[in-house]
A and B are shown apart, each in its own frame.
Chain A
Amino acid sequence: MSLNPPPEETPGLRRRFIISSSIVVCAFFVLALRLWSLQVLGVDHYRELSERNRIRHVAIHAPRGAVFDRYGTLLVDNRPAFTVSALRQEIGDREKLFHHLSELLEVDEEQLEERWQAGQGLPRYRPLPLLEDVGRQAMEMVQENSVDLPGILVEVKPLRAYPYGEMAAHLFGYLGEVTENELDQPEFSGYRSGEMVGKTALEREFEGRLRGTAGQKRIEVNVRGRELRQLTTRSPLPGQRLYLTIDAALQQAAETALADNAGAVVALDVRSGEILAFVSRPTFDPALFARGVSSDEWRELIDNPRHPMTNKVLRGQYPPGSTFKMVVALAALEAGTVTPTTKFECDGSFKLGNSYEYRCWKRNGHGIVDLHKAIKESCDVWFYRAGLETGIDRIASAAQRLGLGQPTGFPFGGESSGLIPSRAWKKKRFGTSWYDGETVISSIGQGFVLTTPLQLASMAAALANGGTVWKPRIVQKIVDLEGETDWLLTPEKLTETAWSTESLKAVRDAMESVVNDVGGTAWRSRLEKVRFAGKTGTAQVVRRKSDEEEEQAEDDEVIPYQYRDHAIFVSYAPADNPQIAVAVVVEHGGHGSSVAAPVARAVYDAYFTEETDSKDTVQKVVTGD
């Protein structure tokens, strides 16, 4: 036991106690000061950080605007698609998790790992999509097993749905993820990476109206990112609805008629330029793009020799062949170089000077031919001579006034302008003068002459309506959320020509005979219930080199596909009171009479079967403006 005196009585120690107590008080004072600075001065800052910790803003995708046909038939819609995603903060043992998930959903483990690696660029708080558009069954499987799948969640977003499958795919276009390049552009401000945007056609042209406004929900999450409760929700606003001028029944009839052929069908209302059918085949499945097309699928589409990704209505350029003969006829009648009764003899060929012999398709000749017979039976010799006497420039002028050789003004899709040659054009293009032989072949729509299916339909419509080339229109109206019409179609004239009634009548009578009279080239395609007028055409793809070759080539089976002729048919109906014009191009289809005309026939068959009241609606829509 120590014998030292107690500390209270030692003055030195007392001082030490006072000092230590002061140090203790000071230390606590410093702590208090720090607390004051955090909790009083810093409270706003730290509360904000705390909010940021626990509150997450989640975008709710807006359903894109639906697309309807002219009668309100739903053409493009949305359906809920379930995406299996991973919340990266919450995932511990990835290997085990993916193994479990792959067994549950019967998918490849490596595929999950691939998606995982590919998604590492996404912000960490965003769920990483592993499997897109899984079925409802898979969605339920994941949700039932959520306890064993920590960090895996199922998201719902609206995805484009196409009740008619591939129908009119070129018209609707497709969607794809917005690219980094696009995100830099001002028109895509407000888009987030990963968002789907219209890439082509209608989806692209009306992106701004179709997109809608994304909603947002504020959710409270815990440290693992698991949603605990919803705080507030702002509902998404769906995009505006598009009503097209398309007639779904007609469109489907045209698609079916063209079947597996490559080519295009366009049907126009001759009184307004409204497009009733818009077919380009072969086509693609837009639903494939809605869920994200794989590179293999894409390559297959791009490498297909029949070009399913090309919109042939707008971008296919074909020599019009004999369907150009109406243009030549009108030009010649206008110039006075022929009259409807002018007769030429066709002995199967036409000799220009002493040099070259131009053959009629009918080897042994048509005999004595007037305008009517020349169109009805498609005599080439009559048109060689009429064209030669009229001259290329007057033919070109007529062609242009019928809407050929220039863009029709279709609002999207980058249509081709086709080509109507003239002396000036050739001088400018090749620096050489025009040869009469070129006039001869131009008169039957060969040589330099190129047209698009849409132009051919416009031309047929102009012949039918007396000379007005309407700007083809595809969107009838756009309806906003409140059901108010936000935008309405107004028919617009591209050109209008007052052809002489007599000339028009002569040409139209002949076109009627093509289909309805014995000996007409499309006689086999006539319809009982409605008389339609038309003109067949067979456009040569390559000039045949010699007679022997042609002899050989007589049998279509022998000619390689890519060298076969294009089959063309332009028409309108009814012949006496035209409402609708139809142009058909069947690529490498052979003869217009045997391949293209039946397609048009099928379209008319469908059109004139429909209820009469719906036709009245058309009238109202057109005249209502």
Chain B
Amino acid sequence: MFDRRLITHFNWIYLLLILLISAIGIANMYSATSSWTTAAQPVYLKQFYWLGIGLLIVALICVFDYRHLEYLSFPLYGGNLLLLILVLAIGRTSMGATRWISLAGFNVQPSEIMKIVIIVALARYFSEKEHLRGFNLRELIAPGLILGVPALLIMKQPDLGTALLVLCIGGTMALFAGVQRSSVTFLAVAGLAAAGGGWFLLHDYQKQRILTFLNPERDPLGAGYHIIQSKIAVGSGGFNGLGFMKGTQSQLSFLPERHTDFAFSVFAEEWGLIGCLLLLALYCLIVLLGLHIALRSCDRFGMYLAIGVSAMLFWHIVVNLGMVIGLLPVVGVPLPLFSYGGTSMVSTMTGIGVLMNVGMRRFMF
């Protein structure tokens, strides 16, 4: 069963890029949290362990042929949907949102799992249905429901960031599958209208975030504080950066959330434009390589899987960076491989595992 080609087709360069970004991320985390004296175990070390677990997941996923996922896709989707409903019913609430559920002693965040499962489910759907002229509105109802139901459930938690990301991933996959131009136009207009109407459904803190994004000075010590401090950190980094461990914004704790969502600000302050461009290039490369894997995959299911994972990485990177440098509103989206967090690491590595799985089995058809 084991084919030597599995090894030769394994994308080592991709793995190297992943490790490189993770290493930079851990070094950056070391700097960002160096002023913490109380933590029993340093955060950068914990992130290191999570990276190990992540790599284990990648290895584990690569052992099995991704094509088995095709049969499992809808049961997985159904199970995940059930979990999302369970979260709303009996989930654990922290900081005003209910996102967690206890499964066999583990705290699980079903919305994070959904990012992967939606990719699998839609990949299955789009690989079977194809319209050369592109999908029209009526034909989009089924995938729209597959995507919309979990997105709504996640939004209800409330977790706007994840919900939007799930929509972006699904939307990207749908666009790739082909949608009629008139339908795209209609959806765009409808989307804008829905956004206008949805404004009234948003929670106060979500409205604050959007208003504050439009004008951070509105509330410099409150909701605008994050974005102002982050821009100061990034901007004061300059061309060369202030040097490792020397960023005053992060070392003196002016920067909030600096080991999680705003980890990039710390990096930008200390490494300057040079460092940022290098990191940007690395991230750009993993997205483009993901697309390349999709292009060269041996079947449509694999292609859509690779497209979905690439979209997931792409949107995470763009939304997080856009937020950190003041181009997008502050939504709690972590930077893959760079922000601290076990959940993010596990879901990212699961996606990467799937992607590499597709890449190493492109010869089989």
Q: Which residues of A contact B (CB under 8 A)?
A: 1-2, 4, 6-8, 12-14, 16-17, 20-21, 24-25, 27-28, 30-32, 34-36, 38-40, 42-43, 45-47, 49-50, 53-54, 220-224, 228
Residue B253 at the A interface, CB < 8 A? yes
**Also in contact, A24 and B295, with CB within 8 A (given A34-B327, A46-B236, A49-B236):** no
Interchain CB contact under 8 A, B296 and A50: no
Residue B156 at the A interface, CB < 8 A? no
Interchain CB contact under 8 A, B288 and A24: yes
A42 to B237 alpha-carbon distance, docked (Å): 10
Interchain CB contact under 8 A, A36 and B300: no
**Also in contact, A38 and B234, with CB within 8 A (given A17-B294, A28-B284, A32-B280):** yes
Q: List 7 additional A-B contacts (Cβ < 8 Å) besides A13-B303, A21-B291, A53-B249.
A: A2-B128, A2-B299, A16-B176, A24-B314, A28-B283, A53-B252, A54-B254
A185 to B270 alpha-carbon distance, docked (Å): 48
Interchain CB contact under 8 A, B296 and A8: yes
Residue B206 at the A interface, CB < 8 A? no
A49 to B234 alpha-carbon distance, docked (Å): 12
Residue B165 at the A interface, CB < 8 A? no
Please give, as numbers and ranges, the residues of chain B lying within 8 Å of A50 by CB-CB distance: 232-233, 236, 248-249, 254
Interchain CB contact under 8 A, A2 and B127: yes
Q: Which of B259-274 contact A (CB under 8 A)?
A: 268, 272-273
A27 to B321 alpha-carbon distance, docked (Å): 11
A581 to B48 alpha-carbon distance, docked (Å): 92
Interchain CB contact under 8 A, A38 and B231: yes
B347 to chain A, nearest CB (A): 20
Please give, as numbers and ranges, the residues of chain A lying within 8 Å of B291 by CB-CB distance: 17, 20-21, 24
B35 to chain A, nearest CB (A): 8
Interchain CB contact under 8 A, A39 and B287: no
- Of B130, B239, B252, the residue contacting A4 (CB under 8 A) is B130
Interchain CB contact under 8 A, B249 and A24: no
Interchain CB contact under 8 A, B252 and A220: yes
Interchain CB contact under 8 A, B235 and A1: no
**Also in contact, A35 and B234, with CB within 8 A (given A6-B297, A24-B314, A25-B288):** yes
Interchain CB contact under 8 A, A45 and B295: no
Please give, as numbers and ranges, the residues of chain A lying within 8 Å of B210 by CB-CB distance: none
Interchain CB contact under 8 A, B268 and A35: yes
Interchain CB contact under 8 A, B252 and A228: yes
Interchain CB contact under 8 A, A6 and B127: no
- Of B67, B277, B287, the residue contacting A24 (CB under 8 A) is B287
Please give, as numbers and ranges, the residues of chain A lying within 8 Å of B325 by CB-CB distance: 31, 34-35, 38
Q: Closest B-chain residue to A16, C-beta based?
A: B176
Please give, as numbers and ranges, the residues of chain A lying within 8 Å of B231 by CB-CB distance: 38, 46
**Also in contact, A35 and B297, with CB within 8 A (given A43-B238, A53-B252):** no
Size of chain B's interface in residues, with CB distance under 8 A? Answer: 54
A21 to B314 alpha-carbon distance, docked (Å): 11
A319 to chain B, nearest CB (A): 67
B282 to chain A, nearest CB (A): 10
A34 to B230 alpha-carbon distance, docked (Å): 13
Interchain CB contact under 8 A, B248 and A53: yes
**Also in contact, A47 and B236, with CB within 8 A (given A6-B297, A32-B277, A54-B252):** yes
A54 to B294 alpha-carbon distance, docked (Å): 48
- Of B238, B268, B297, B322, the residue contacting A40 (CB under 8 A) is B238
A8 to chain B, nearest CB (A): 6
Interchain CB contact under 8 A, A36 and B273: yes
B189 to chain A, nearest CB (A): 21
A325 to B296 alpha-carbon distance, docked (Å): 126
Please give, as numbers and ranges, the residues of chain A lying within 8 Å of B128 by CB-CB distance: 2
Q: List 10 A-B contacts (CB under 8 A).
A: A4-B130, A6-B297, A7-B297, A20-B291, A25-B284, A31-B327, A38-B326, A40-B238, A50-B233, A54-B248
Please give, as numbers and ranges, the residues of chain A lying within 8 Å of B295 by CB-CB distance: 7-8, 13-14, 17
A269 to B294 alpha-carbon distance, docked (Å): 107
Interchain CB contact under 8 A, A223 and B300: no
Residue B365 at the A interface, CB < 8 A? yes
Please give, as numbers and ranges, the residues of chain B lying within 8 Å of A46 by CB-CB distance: 231-232, 234-236
Q: Closest B-chain residue to A224, C-beta based?
A: B253
- Of A14, A42, A223, the residue contacting B253 (CB under 8 A) is A223
A381 to chain B, nearest CB (A): 86
Interchain CB contact under 8 A, A7 and B303: yes
Please give, as numbers and ranges, the residues of chain A lying within 8 Å of B283 by CB-CB distance: 28
B24 to chain A, nearest CB (A): 16
Per-residue contact bits, chain B 47-65, to A (CB 8 Å; 1 contact, 0 not): 0000000000000000000
Interchain CB contact under 8 A, A39 and B268: yes
Interchain CB contact under 8 A, A43 and B235: yes
B247 to chain A, nearest CB (A): 9
